[in-house]
Structure 1
Amino acid sequence: MSARIEGAVRSPADVYDDQFVPALFRHWGPVVCDAAKITAGQRVLDVACGTGALTVAVAGRVWPGGAALGLDANPEMLAVAQRKHPDIEWHRGCAESLPFADAEFDAVVSQFGLMFFDDRVAALREMQRVLRPGGRLVVAVCDALERSPGYAALAALLERLFGKTVADAFRAPFVLGDAAALRALCVAADIADATVVQCHGTVRFASIDLLVSTERACVWTLGGQLDATQFELLREEAQGALLPFVDAGGMVSFAMPALLITAVKR
């Protein structure tokens, strides 16, 4: 599947890297690295690395003398990561069965991937397994949809226009936005003394059209859900639904906080 954004045909992985990374994800790299206390010389794994936004931030902390490794199950995402950052070590694999030895890493990090894993408890266990004693695990997920008002408005619009199935596909990234549920996952994965804290974040797109077009191109949420006629209707209706989040220059911005799981391996 490919998408036409601003006149150019791009793969979903390119859309993700060109639009989602700067709008949503890039600014989280330093936050996660700070929480993991990543320093020069460490060996660090980024699980579900996508096109490498967090991995690049990790590399900037561990070099020289350290190693930043990115792992993802999606070959298209890894191809973009490899093309843009050939000096980083990239691996294809799933979070539930990491292809690494026990206690291999000083820190294991993951941002905005846990909610899409087939077996979240198994993935957390694996991240803990490859972490050395005293090493830090940090996993970021999207907070609840109601705390991201622009996306909540878009979800409500999708349900009004196209029904619950389409709206729920869009809501999928927000399903783990509950601190108690995250702590329960950690307990089930035998991760002791995990903490969950909320961190502030902001979504920024240059226009409503760009936000809607980018979301439609995302294969993990709205991709394939809307035909051309439905998309045009969504784009028209979004002009009103998202207007409260637009500034004088047309920029769309609103809060999108994250929840960070942090644990130190005993």
Structure 2
Amino acid sequence: MADGQQAWQLAGRGPEAYERYLVPAFFAPCAERLLDAAEVAPGERVLDAACGTGAVARGAAARVGSLGGVTGVDLNPGMVEVARSATAGITQPAIDWHTGDMTALPFPDETFDVVCCQQGFQFVGDQPGALREMRRVLVPDGRAAVAVWRPIEHNPAFVALVNELERHSGAAAAATMRSPFGGPGPDRLRWLLTDAGLRDAWIGITILTVRFGSAEEFLTQESVSSPLAEPLSALDAGGWHALLEGLDAALQPYADDDGLTFPMQSWLMTARR
């Protein structure tokens, strides 16, 4: 397992908090953009690779309908278990969940019409291998679709959060929160797609509008839903207050009468086998 993957493997109640807080805020809206880019259609077979708690898989199930099929796979058994619980009522189609590595997908060749990966690709140590695996399990002319956050400077709320973590919690906590934004840029992404044997690459930018009730809500939900839980739990009351006070001040440009709203930018890429 690569260092980035290891750093972002949530344990304990982390997967439940991730599903409760971060999926509605970030990952469900991004999933819809990714599925639009992939042009997922009724009757198709879709794989959600590095599925987390299954935001893409759930969105895909609504699109493919009873004649299609949806499968999710993730390294983290806890995330898969939460995904399975969250989709217990989905029967047409039922979603098939697996624990596994996207660099060694546990599926036969030419199984899926579409393979998606949302905000997991940047943590994969063997990115060329992951894309080769995505291509392997695609049918001829099948589509791959990947979402990767753009660099952190395009995601200003997280610039503010990382800066305050650096001041009040230390370099390790700041590096942890910076890591989701360290994925490959468009030139590297295009090269990776071509090197994996995929064609007709398209790379675009999508901008989500995210909302939280306050800086405290944003910080609290991030702290319980990410690997920040451990370093932030070590702060005493004064340290937490100083961190929150600094974050609230930094996020004032994004404040309105309903709380905070800020942009999140992601690369979307698609290609065909």
For the criterion TM > 0.5, the same-fold answer is yes
Q: State the shift of 1:177 in Å.
A: 5.5
> C-alpha distance in 2, partners of 1:193/1:67?
25
Q: State the shift of 1:172 in Å.
A: 0.5
Whether the aligned pair in 2 keeps the contact of 1:145 and 1:177 (CA below 8 Å) is no
Whether the aligned pair in 2 keeps the contact of 1:153 and 1:241 (CA below 8 Å) is yes
Q: State the shift of 1:108 in Å.
A: 0.5
Identity of aligned residues (%): 38
Q: State the shift of 1:257 in Å.
A: 1.1
Q: State the shift of 1:239 in Å.
A: 1.9
> C-alpha distance in 2, partners of 1:158/1:68?
38
Q: Give a deviation string over 1:17-67, Cα, whole Å, max 9, x none.
A: 110011111112221111111111111101011111110100001112110
> C-alpha distance in 1, partners of 2:131/2:229?
28
> C-alpha distance in 1, partners of 2:129/2:266?
22
Compared with structure 1, are the counterparts of its residues 233 and 177 closer, same or farther at alpha carbon in structure 2 (3 Å cutoff)?
farther
The one of 218, 223, 226 aligned to 1:216 = 223
Equivalent residue, structure 1, for 2:91: none
What number of residue pairs does the alignment pair up?
254
| Structure 2 runs not aligned, ≥5 long | 1-11, 89-93
SS of the aligned residue for 1:214 comes to: helix
Whether the aligned pair in 2 keeps the contact of 1:177 and 1:259 (CA below 8 Å) is no
Equivalent residue, structure 1, for 2:77: 75
Runs of 4+ in 1 over 6 A off after TM superposition: none
Amino acid at match of 1:257: Q
SS of the aligned residue for 2:143 comes to: strand
Q: Where do 1:144-163 residues align within 5 Å?
A: 144-163=151-170
Superposition RMSD on alpha carbons, in Å?
1.7
SS of the aligned residue for 1:203 comes to: strand
| Structure 1 runs not aligned, ≥5 long | 1-9
Q: Does 1:261 pair with 2:262? A: no
Equivalent residue, structure 1, for 2:28: 26
Whether the aligned pair in 1 keeps the contact of 2:122 and 2:184 (CA below 8 Å) is no
**Structure 2 length as normaliser, TM-score?**
0.87
Q: Where do 1:73-152 residues align within 5 Å?
A: 73-86=75-88, 87-152=94-159
Q: Give a deviation string over 1:113-171, Cα, whole Å, max 9, x none.
A: 10112321111111111001111110001111111111112212222334433222111
